[in-house]
């Protein structure tokens, strides 16, 4: 065993009570960090998951139509014109199969679903509801939304004359699986559809508005045969959605909206949550560092004479420095191990005690080895840095003076 | 001719810049291999300063200090530390063992400092020395579990573990009762005779000084007397 390890361990063992206290201090600090990070991480993950349960990560659609004036002003003439905005009709993406192929090969994209969507009226007996008609290939659409896991009755795989609706819409129209309803769009066309499934996506508005049909049904109802109005994407890492959307925009020339754009406020909230947790962690680390430093400063003062003797017996200055740095490091590592266990235990207890009515934890925890590793590394660095000052003063002791006066 | 263990030439030491205090004034003296010398003198005569300079814990203001043939005044701190570890042993008045280490670990300490890491053979050597000073049975005890005399014996074993040519002892018996002091002194004498280790021992005890080969008396930073003892034991 190297001499510095030997002495560091002996010094820590000799000052048992001090060592235990300071390890405990570091442990509490790390526990707070692990607990707080896990709590905030868990909350954020569940918030994002909730938001993204009824929203595609990226929606790609054609650009809005713009009215272009026929006459342009020249040097000689002025044109007085009032250009009216164009009413936006449902339009298909040009050569969408080509776009689809390109999008599905983009890095980071895990699922793509062409969608034909537009407004429609659902009627049953004398009940009428405005709905959002969504035609999509079931397997692809289910890869974007967790719809198949959220079926209340029936299944999601609509036939040519079948539709799948949300729980609220089913209640409003008084229908259940097997019942028929009439769908009409602005024009003359109207068709009878059979309810083949009822879903609950956990969002009242979505449950009331969405009406899912097969692609062909929507194309014929919306008069868009062969076309799709948008392509929806799912990405591997949700926070990269915006950069992927930007890549989509530049490679296809289409409009690509990421969930991050449409939920800017949520993102601001998440960010401020993260930064407030970081501020708290910085102060916790500072407190831990000061605790370790103060104990080691006292230890150097108590051991002045012994350090002098060690120097007299031929111990190098660098060895004395490492003895104290090692003590800081050992305290940091042991403290972080104890603290990580403490934080994880606290989280588990917390998650177990506070539960929602449906049995899911009120505070979802996201504890990971990465989080524990990061906290431990931080505690190790804190310990070594905190020990730097006491170590330096120990190495600078004048041995003759230290031996004489203690 | 054998190189002396200590050779001081015109060594002076003064403290302070505005008010200069001369502690040692142009000392010249040599200590031969295997000599056992007592350093006596009233308090404030410069004994401790001289011992610190010989122990390479302090540097002289002027003059040259040769330890075991090595001129030390030009060496840097790291070289002094190395030389101190291999050529000098220290025994202090209050034994100064490391309180968190067992007897055998204390004895091993100079070897650890020189080598940088702990090995099996170090422990063997330390145990053999503890056996030699009669404390084999207390090898695993902490200093707080030993008597003053026992602690001083451990300190002597520690001072000798590197086989240094010179041991500096600062009132090694000053804290012990007469009987224990005699035992500790006898132990040092044995090592001196057996292993030809030179000793320079600061003492206030004229009885012990009389039993050394030589007595050097320091007053006001000057050597006022340096005589061979005729009745060495």
Of A1, A313, A319, the CB nearest to B118: A1
Q: Do B96 and A6 touch (CB under 8 A)?
A: no
More confidently predicted of B232 and B60: B60
Overall average pLDDT of the B180-205 stretch: 89
Average pLDDT across chain B, whole number: 87
- Which residues in chain B have their CB less than 8 angstroms from residue A316's CB? 78, 81, 113
With beta carbons under 8 A apart, name residues in chain A contacting B55.
312, 400
Chain A residues in contact with chain B using a Cβ-Cβ cutoff of 8 Å = 1-3, 6, 10-11, 13-14, 305-306, 309-317, 319, 398-400, 403-404
pLDDT for B141 equals 92
Decide which of A64 and B95 is more confident.
A64
Q: What is the pLDDT of residue A392?
A: 87
Which of A5, A311, A313 to mutate against chain B (most B CBs within 10 Å)?
A313
Does residue B79 sit at the A interface (CB-CB below 8 Å)?
Answer: no
The whole-number pLDDT of residue A362 equals 65
B144 to chain A, closest Cα gap in Å: 12
Cβ-defined contact of B112 to A317 (cutoff 8 Å): no
pLDDT over 70 for what percent of chain B? Answer: 97
Residue A361: the pLDDT is 66
Count of other CB atoms within 10 angstroms of residue B24: 25
What does the alpha-carbon distance between residue A320 and residue B93 come to, in Å, rounded to a whole number? Answer: 24
Which residue, among B57, B76, B87, would best test binding to A if mutated, counting the most A CBs under 10 Å from its CB?
B57
pLDDT range class, residue B207, cuts 50, 70, 90: confident
Please spell the DSSP secondary structure of B111-144, one letter per residue: HHHHHSB--HHHHHHHHHHHHHTT-GGGTT--GG
pLDDT in tens, A94-112: 888 998 998 888 888 999 9
Tokens 């559809």 correspond to what residue? A193
- CB distance B118–A319 less than 8 Å? no
Residue A214: φ, ψ to 5° = -75, 160
Question: Is pLDDT at B184 greater than 70 in this prediction?
Answer: yes
pLDDT at residue B232 greater than cutoff 60: no
Q: How far is B186 from chain A (nearest CA, A)?
A: 23
Span B148-163, pLDDT tens digits: 889 988 999 999 888 8
Phi, psi (5° rounding) for residue A207? -65, -30
Measure B85 CA to nearest chain A CA, in Å: 4
Ordered by start, the domain boundaries in chain A are 3-51+266-405, 96-262
pTM over 0.80: no
Rounded average pLDDT over B167-184? 87
* Secondary structure (DSSP) of chain B: -PPPSEEEEEEEEEE-SSS-EEEEEEEEEEE-TT-EEEEE--TTSSHHHHHHHHTTSS--SEEEEEETTEE-TT--HHHHHHHHHHHEEEE-TT----TTS-HHHHHHHHHHHHHSB--HHHHHHHHHHHHHTT-GGGTT--GGGS-HHHHHHHHHHHHHTT--SEEEEESTTTTS-HHHHHHHHHHHHHHHHHH--EEEEE-S-HHHHTTSSEEEEEETTEEEEEEE-S---
The answer to whether B86 faces chain A, any CB pair under 8 Å, is: yes
Bridge partners for A129 per DSSP:
A122
Question: B57 CB near a chain A CB, below 8 Å?
Answer: yes
C-beta atoms surrounding B64 within 10 Å: 14
B76 interface with A at CB cutoff 8 Å: no
Mean pLDDT within B117-145: 89
- Looking at residue B231, what is its pLDDT? 56
Q: Which residues of B touch A13 (CB under 8 A)?
A: 100
**Terminus-to-terminus CA distance in chain A, angstroms?**
28
pLDDT value for A163? 92
Q: Is A79:A72 a contact under the CB 8 Å cutoff? A: yes
- The helix (run of H) or strand (run of E) holding residue A252 is helix A241-252
User: What stretches in chain A show pLDDT beneath 70?
Assistant: 187-188, 356-364, 406
Among candidate residues A264, A376, A279, the one with its CA nearest the CA of residue A329? A376
pLDDT above 60 for B233: no
Residue B162 is encoded by which pair of tokens? 């590197």
């Amino acid at each position: 065993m190297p001499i510095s390890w030997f002495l560091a361990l002996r010094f820590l063992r000799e000052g048992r009570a001090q060592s235990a206290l300071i390890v405990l201090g570091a442990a509490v600090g790390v526990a707070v960090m692990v607990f707080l990070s896990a709590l905030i991480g868990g909350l954020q993950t569940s918030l994002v998951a909730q938001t993204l349960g009824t929203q595609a990560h990226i929606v790609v659609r054609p650009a809005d139509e713009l009215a272009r004036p026929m006459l342009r002003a020249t040097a000689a003439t002025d044109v007085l014109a009032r250009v009216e905005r164009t009413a936006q009709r449902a339009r298909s993406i040009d050569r969408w199969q080509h776009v689809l192929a390109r999008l599905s090969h983009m890095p980071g994209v895990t699922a793509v679903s062409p969608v034909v969507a537009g407004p429609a009226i659902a009627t049953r007996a004398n009940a009428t509801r405005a709905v959002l008609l969504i035609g999509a290939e079931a397997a692809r659409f289910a890869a974007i939304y967790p719809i198949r896991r959220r079926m209340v009755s029936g299944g999601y795989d609509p036939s040519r004359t079948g539709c799948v609706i949300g729980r609220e819409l089913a209640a409003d129209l008084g229908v259940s699986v097997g019942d028929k309803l009439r769908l009409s769009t602005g024009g003359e066309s109207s068709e009878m559809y059979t309810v083949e499934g009822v879903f609950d996506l956990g969002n009242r508005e979505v449950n009331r508005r969405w009406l899912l049909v097969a692609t062909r049904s929507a194309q014929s109802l919306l008069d868009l045969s062969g076309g799709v109005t948008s392509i929806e994407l799912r990405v591997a890492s949700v926070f990269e959605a915006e950069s992927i959307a930007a890549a989509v925009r530049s490679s296809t020339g289409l409009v690509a909206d990421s969930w991050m754009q449409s939920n800017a406020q949520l993102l601001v909230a998440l960010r401020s949550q993260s930064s407030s947790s970081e501020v708290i962690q910085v102060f916790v680390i500072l407190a831990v560092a000061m605790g370790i430093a103060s104990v080691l400063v006292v230890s150097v003062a108590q051991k002045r004479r012994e350090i002098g003797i060690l120097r007299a017996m031929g111990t190098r200055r660098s060895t004395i420095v490492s003895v104290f740095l090692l003590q800081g490091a050992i305290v940091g590592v042991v403290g972080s191990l104890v603290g990580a266990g403490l934080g994880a235990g606290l989280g588990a207890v917390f998650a177990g005690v506070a539960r929602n009515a449906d049995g899911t934890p009120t505070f979802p925890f996201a504890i990971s080895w990465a989080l524990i590793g990061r906290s431990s590394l931080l505690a190790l660095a804190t310990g070594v840095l905190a020990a730097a000052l006491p170590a330096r003063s120990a190495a600078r002791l004048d041995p003759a003076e230290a031996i004489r006066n203690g | 001719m054998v190189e002396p263990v200590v050779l001081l030439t015109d060594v002076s030491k003064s403290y302070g810049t505005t008010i200069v205090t001369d502690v040692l004034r142009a000392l010249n003296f040599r200590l031969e291999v295997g000599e056992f010398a007592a350093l006596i003198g009233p308090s404030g005569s410069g004994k401790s300063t001289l011992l610190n300079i010989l122990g390479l814990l302090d540097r002289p203001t002027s003059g040259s200090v040769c330890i075991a043939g090595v001129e030390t005044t030009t060496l840097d701190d790291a070289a002094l530390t190395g030389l101190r570890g291999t050529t000098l042993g220290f025994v202090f008045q209050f034994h100064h063992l490391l309180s968190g280490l067992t007897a055998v670990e204390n004895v091993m300490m100079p070897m650890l400092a020189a080598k940088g890491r702990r090995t099996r053979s170090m422990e063997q050597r330390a145990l053999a020395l503890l056996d030699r000073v009669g404390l084999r049975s207390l090898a695993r005890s902490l200093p707080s579990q030993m008597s003053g005399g026992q602690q001083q014996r451990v300190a002597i074993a520690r001072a000798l573990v590197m086989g240094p040519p010179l041991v500096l002892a600062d009132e090694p018996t000053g804290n012990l009762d007469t009987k224990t002091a005699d035992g500790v002194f006898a132990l040092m004498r044995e090592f001196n005779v057996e292993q030809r280790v030179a000793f320079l021992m600061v003492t206030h005890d004229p009885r012990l000084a009389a039993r050394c080969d030589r007595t050097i008396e320091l007053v006001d930073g000057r050597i006022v007397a340096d005589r061979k003892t005729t009745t060495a034991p």
